Structure 1
Amino acid sequence: MGQATSYISQFFPAKPKFTAADVPDLTGKVAVVTGGNTGIGKETVKARIVLLSRNAKVYLAARSKTKAESAIQDVHTATGKMALFLELDLSSLASVKKAAEEFLSKETKLHLLFNNAGVMVPPINEVTADGYDLQFGTNALGHFYFTELLMPALLAGATSSSDKKARVVTTSSFGNYLIKDINWDSLKDGPARKKMGPQALYHQSKLGNVLIAREVAKRYGDKGIVSTSVNPGNIRTDLSRYITTPGWGLVSKLLLYPVNYGAITQLYAGTSPQTVDANGKFFVPWAREAQPNPKALDPELGERLWKWCEDQVKGH
Structure 2
Amino acid sequence: MGSTVSVMKEGLPPKSTYSVNDIPDLTGKVMIVTGANTGVGKETAKALLSYNAKVYIAARSQEKAEAAIKDLKEETGKEGIFLKLDLSDLRSVKTSAEEFLSKETELHVLFNNAGVMAPPIEQLTAQGYDLQFGTNVLGHFYFTKLLLPALLAGAKASPDGKARVVNTSSSGSHLVNNLKFNTFKDTPARKRFGTYNLYSQSKFGNVLFSNELARRYNDQGIVSTSLNPGNLQSDLQRHLSPILMFFVGLLLYPVEYGALTQLWSGTSPEGTELNGKYLIPWARIGKPNPATNDEKLARDLWTWMEEQVENL
Q: Is the pair's TM-score, using the shorter chain for normalization, greater than 0.5?
A: yes
Q: Gapped runs of 5+ residues in structure 1? A: none
TM-score when scaled to structure 1? Answer: 0.96
Q: Secondary structure at the match of 1:59?
A: strand
Q: Gapped runs of 5+ residues in structure 2? A: none
How far residue 275 of structure 1 moved from its aligned partner, in angstroms, is 2.0
- Counterparts of 1:3 and 1:293 in 2: how far apart (Å)? 8
Corresponding position of 2:26: 26
Listed as ranges, the matches of 1:73-92 within 5 Å are 73-92=70-89
- Counterparts of 1:77 and 1:236 in 2: how far apart (Å)? 23
Corresponding position of 1:43: 43
For the pair 1:291 / 2:287, whether they are aligned, the reply is yes
How far residue 7 of structure 1 moved from its aligned partner, in angstroms, is 4.2
For the pair 1:189 / 2:206, whether they are aligned, the reply is no
**1:311 aligned residue (302, 307, 310):** 307
How far residue 250 of structure 1 moved from its aligned partner, in angstroms, is 5.1
Q: Sequence identity of aligned pairs in percent?
A: 59
For the pair 1:160 / 2:164, whether they are aligned, the reply is no
One-letter identity of the residue aligned with 2:118: V
Q: After the TM superposition, which parts of structure 1 deviate over 2 Å for at least 4 consecutive aligned residues?
A: 2-9, 247-251
Deviations 1:32-91 (A, max 9, x none): 000100111011011xxx100111000000000000000000000101110000000000
- Counterparts of 2:248 and 2:63 in 1: how far apart (Å)? 31
Deviations 1:170-209 (A, max 9, x none): 0000000001210010000110110001000000000000
For the pair 1:67 / 2:64, whether they are aligned, the reply is yes
One-letter identity of the residue aligned with 1:227: S
Corresponding position of 2:12: 12
- Counterparts of 1:58 and 1:161 in 2: how far apart (Å)? 17
- Counterparts of 2:304 and 2:239 in 1: how far apart (Å)? 29
Q: Secondary structure at the match of 1:76?
A: helix
Listed as ranges, the matches of 1:96-111 within 5 Å are 96-111=93-108
Q: 1:247 to 1:315 in 2, by over 3 A?
A: closer
Aligned residue pair count? 311
TM-score when scaled to structure 2? Answer: 0.97
One-letter identity of the residue aligned with 1:312: Q
Q: Secondary structure at the match of 2:167?
A: strand
- Counterparts of 1:23 and 1:177 in 2: how far apart (Å)? 30
One-letter identity of the residue aligned with 1:243: L
- Counterparts of 1:131 and 1:237 in 2: how far apart (Å)? 27
User: What root-mean-square deviation, in Å, do the aligned CA atoms of Structure 1 and Structure 2 show?
Assistant: 1.2
